[in-house]
Amino acid sequence: MRTGTPWIRILDFLVVNLSTIYMINYYMELQMDQVKMRYESAQDTYDFVIVGAGSAGCVLANKLSEKHTVLLLEAGGDHHQPLINAPVLFFNNQNRFPHDWQYKTVPQVNSSFAFKNNVTLWPAGKGLGGSGLINGMIYIRGSVQGFDDVAERTSNPIWTMRNAQKHYKQLEDYHGHFDQKNHGVGGGMTIEKGDIRPVIDHVMKAGEEMGYKVRDPNLDGPITEGFAPMDFHMKNGYRWDSYKAYIEPILDRETLTVRKFAFVNKVLFTGENNKAVGIEYERHGQTKIAKATKEVILSAGAIQSPRILMHSGVGPKSHLEEFGIKPILDLPVGENLQDKYGAFVGPFFVDEGKSFLMERELTMARMVEFGIFGTSPYASTRLEGTYTFRSSKAKTEGYKYPDIFTYIMVHSTDSEYERDMEIAANTKKEILRGYYKMWAGNDSFFQLVTLPKPYSKGFLKLRDADPKSPPVLDPKYLSHQRDVDLLVEGIKFAVKLVEETKSFKEIHGKMLPVSFPGCEKLPFKSDAYWECVARHTTATAYKYCATVPMGKDTNDPTAVVDSFLRVFGTKGLRVVDGSVFQEKEVSVNQCTCQMLGSVASEFILDYWDNQASGLDNSLDDEK
């Protein structure tokens, strides 16, 4: 227990009891929703049934319900509570029931040795807003030039960078660090600066010393390496997600129905052409059917959408038969799992007051400031800066995109770091107590070196025939040697940034010469040592994707949906979420999924407008 001020002890009590607080709120909401269900309309037929009220699903539901009836189903509840909405608690809110699916990988063979049983946790939001409920709120479009690669690979100009950028800007209401002329203003997706620690200024200056520019990471045109302070999905300092932006303002729209606590088991098909006519779902102990006269759209995310498809009979034939599921279509669902992942390096120590120390920053006065103005350290996610660059191999090979992406985490190892990291990251106690905790109470920060274009790929499979069983997830981190080499180069750059620049010498930046547990026998700071650190601290950057990949046609052995996001071999079934993209091409994050929902709604509306008018419709031709 902290021994600080009474206010700090109150905060500590709240954090320690987060799960209990959320559990009480959850069961109160559950009971209220059960009562509400008794008085709901008995209607079970809609033009569109959308599964998942996350980043893409909420945008879709908003736009489609302007002209059609829409049922939006969400497995979780409404978890928009003060402790969820405060940016500073984002890390504390992960891996907690009821707003996180609490996924876990299988034990990793080549990585993640610092975590219990070599298992990494995969946070994923369960509730209205999806992963926007619990993520780091970072606003970065990523390598948008990769959309041109998608357009070329699928022969569909809908996916060009130019069109993607148009939709990003239409969605934005930008009030971030950079020039508004390169962004949109007035959209539902509010972007703000958040609260930034002084150490970030030193990171930016150190980057300039090393020959890189401080630049907007979301500019049009060929992407270049550079450093940037973070922009965030915030409004007035609070978390801002798709549900708040696109569904709350239209809840009284007669054409839109939203149902919480609706767990979808499977898609229902009919006829030889496998027409999707509805879905089967469970709600408050009752099995229900929702019918769709036009389309069923899965927007349940990169883990639940493939799970639903496979339980519906769409997936690898032999895998489905293993669990007694009758195969309808033999497609490579789940066989191309990708994730943006990386390795932690640190802590790096700096002068007092330069980073984020919870006992110092989170005073009652700053809490009042946050409540009134939406400012103060309570408006910090502690993920406050980033930089990206091309590796030596990328430059040699003429590769045009940065392949190393690093996050600056201004999270000092405070007195409760052990508890937080064990719950949110599954870190081994002996490492927390023997390495991290020895630095508690000192201003410091970490760097998470990640791979935006990873070479390692894994798989997602069903655990059994029960739809409620969590899928088997194996990302096979560091199974490709190139990923190992890239992380080592990225870590060496991160250390050089702190130890060899004037900017950090001004604040006595340093990494203490103590070996990471498990790597003590290797020469400190050698390539072999950094590889050991990378293999120990490998963890997700929360960009799961490619489990239902998009392709031009069925000649693509990895593809499950076409370039209009229709599942091959079906009618009236689309998948619109991050599962359709590949991380090697685009960054699958909150704003990209929102953009995806906007693009998809446009061509879906065009299709049904043409159908209604009797016009020739090119979308009728299966790709």
Segment 480-508, tens digit of pLDDT? 999 999 999 999 999 999 999 999 999 99
Report whether 303 contacts 473 (CB < 8 A). yes
For the cut 80, the answer to whether the pLDDT of residue 7 exceeds it is no
Report whether 215 contacts 226 (CB < 8 A). yes
Residue 251: Cβ-neighbour burial (10 angstroms; 0-12, 13-18, 19+): exposed
Confidence of residue 5 (pLDDT cuts 50, 70, 90): low
For the cut 60, the answer to whether the pLDDT of residue 222 exceeds it is no
What are the angstrom distances between the C-alpha of 281 and each of 327, 507, 573?
20, 57, 16
The whole-number pLDDT of residue 396 equals 95
Q: What is the DSSP string of 505-560?
A: HTTT-B--S-PPTT-TTSPTTSHHHHHHHHHHHEEE-S--B-SS-B-SSTTSTT-S
The whole-number pLDDT of residue 221 equals 59
Host H or E run for residue 83: helix 82-85
Mean pLDDT of 341-352: 96
In the chain, where are the structural domains located?
6-16+80-126+195-229+341-540, 41-78+127-191+240-333+545-623
Q: Which CATH number fits domain 6-16+80-126+195-229+341-540: 3.40.50.150, 1.10.3720.10, 1.10.490.10, 3.30.560.10?
A: 3.30.560.10
List of residues 6+ apart from 491 with CB closer than 8 A: 343, 345, 449, 530, 533, 534
For the cut 90, the answer to whether the pLDDT of residue 434 exceeds it is no
In this chain, the answer to whether the domains covering 6-16+80-126+195-229+341-540 and 41-78+127-191+240-333+545-623 adopt an identical fold is no
For the cut 80, the answer to whether the pLDDT of residue 14 exceeds it is no
For the cut 60, the answer to whether the pLDDT of residue 622 exceeds it is no
Evaluate the CA torsion angle 205, 208, 213, 218 in order and state its sign. negative
Mean pLDDT of 558-563: 97
The whole-number pLDDT of residue 537 equals 97
For the cut 90, the answer to whether the pLDDT of residue 363 exceeds it is no
Maximum Cα interatomic distance, the chain, rounded to a whole number of Å: 73
CA distance 577 to 301: 6
The C-alpha torsion from 302 through 479 and 411 to 583, rounded to 10°, is -40
- E strands of 241-353, at which residues? 256-259, 262-270, 275-283, 286-298, 314-315, 329-330, 341-349
Q: Which residues are annotated as a binding site for FAD?
A: 264, 578
Q: pLDDT tens, 152-202? A: 999 999 999 999 999 999 999 999 999 999 999 999 999 999 899 999 999
CA distance 16 to 86: 16
What are the angstrom distances between the C-alpha of 188 and each of 104, 594, 595?
33, 10, 12
What are the angstrom distances between the C-alpha of 418 and each of 2, 421, 437, 439?
13, 5, 7, 11
CA distance 492 to 251: 51
Selection from 75, 31, 25 nearest residue 50 by Cα: 75
CA distance 336 to 292: 29
pTM of the model: 0.95
Radius of gyration for the chain, computed over Cα atoms and rounded to the nearest angstrom: 24
The whole-number pLDDT of residue 223 equals 59
Q: Pinpoint the alpha helices (H) of 182-322.
A: 198-209, 242, 301-311, 317-322
Host H or E run for residue 407: strand 404-409
378 DSSP assignment:
G
CATH superfamily label, 41-78+127-191+240-333+545-623: FAD/NAD(P)-binding domain (3.50.50.60)
CA distance 577 to 337: 14
Mean pLDDT of 558-585: 96
Confidence of residue 617 (pLDDT cuts 50, 70, 90): low
- E strands of 325-382, at which residues? 329-330, 341-349
3-state secondary structure of 256: strand
> Percent of the chain scored above 70 by pLDDT?
96
Confidence of residue 615 (pLDDT cuts 50, 70, 90): low
Mean pLDDT of 353-364: 90
CA distance 415 to 438: 10
Summary mean pLDDT of the chain: 93
More confident position, 128 or 586:
128
Q: Which residues are annotated as a binding site?
A: 264, 578
For the cut 60, the answer to whether the pLDDT of residue 213 exceeds it is yes
CA distance 77 to 79: 6
For the cut 60, the answer to whether the pLDDT of residue 151 exceeds it is yes
More confident position, 432 or 319:
319
What are the angstrom distances between the C-alpha of 330 and each of 301, 302, 327, 334?
21, 19, 7, 12
Confidence of residue 546 (pLDDT cuts 50, 70, 90): very high
List of residues 6+ apart from 177 with CB closer than 8 A: 193, 216, 228, 229, 231
More confident position, 228 or 221:
228
For the cut 50, the answer to whether the pLDDT of residue 95 exceeds it is yes
Confidence of residue 358 (pLDDT cuts 50, 70, 90): confident
Q: pLDDT tens, 231-267? A: 999 999 999 999 999 999 999 999 999 999 999 999 9
The whole-number pLDDT of residue 2 equals 46
| Count of other CB atoms within 10 angstroms of residue 265 | 18
Q: pLDDT tens, 65-75? A: 999 999 999 99
For the cut 60, the answer to whether the pLDDT of residue 522 exceeds it is yes
Q: pLDDT tens, 115-139? A: 999 999 999 999 999 999 999 999 9
